[in-house]
Amino acid sequence: MGTDTRISQHVASGKGRLRHVFVRDLEIIALLGVHEHEKRKAQRIIVNIDLAVREDLANLADDIKNVVSYETVVKHVEAIVAQGHIHLVETLAERIAEACLADERVSAARVRVEKPDIIPNARSVGVEIERIR
């Protein structure tokens, strides 16, 4: 029976040898949405990412190339958004999860994409997905 790598509320696990790498409330301006005004005018989005990363303590060596860097994760998100208009928040979330899982050390990715300025009487709306290797 394999180890369950789903992301729990507290994703770091000594028993599972998992490290929690995360990005909280990343604000980006993006062309995102199905409505004509969303295709013409960029809007603010908020991205949250939680990654379950398999630890390799033997090779840590206090060197950033030996870990999954949150800076690299942010650059992936920025690059995806910079590619241009995306219709669905679901599509953006899937692309972000796919980019995170491209690193073999990432066993699971939870991605939340929010549009905080779309529904006037809601703090935000959006989508959260979880993808497991």
* Model confidence, pTM: 0.90
Active site residue 115: yes
Average pLDDT on 15-44 reads 94
**Mean of the per-residue pLDDT values for the chain?**
91
Rounded-to-integer distance, Cα 42 and Cα 25, Å: 18
Q: What is the pLDDT of residues 93-113, one digit of tens each?
A: 999 999 999 999 999 999 999
- pLDDT score, position 36: 93
Query: CA of 78: how far to CAs of 28, 33, 57, 133, in Å?
Result: 8, 17, 29, 23
User: Is the domain 19-132 a CATH 3.30.350.10 member?
Assistant: no
Catalytic residue among 15, 65, 75, 115: 115
Angle at 92 between CA 28 and CA 100, to 5 degrees: 90
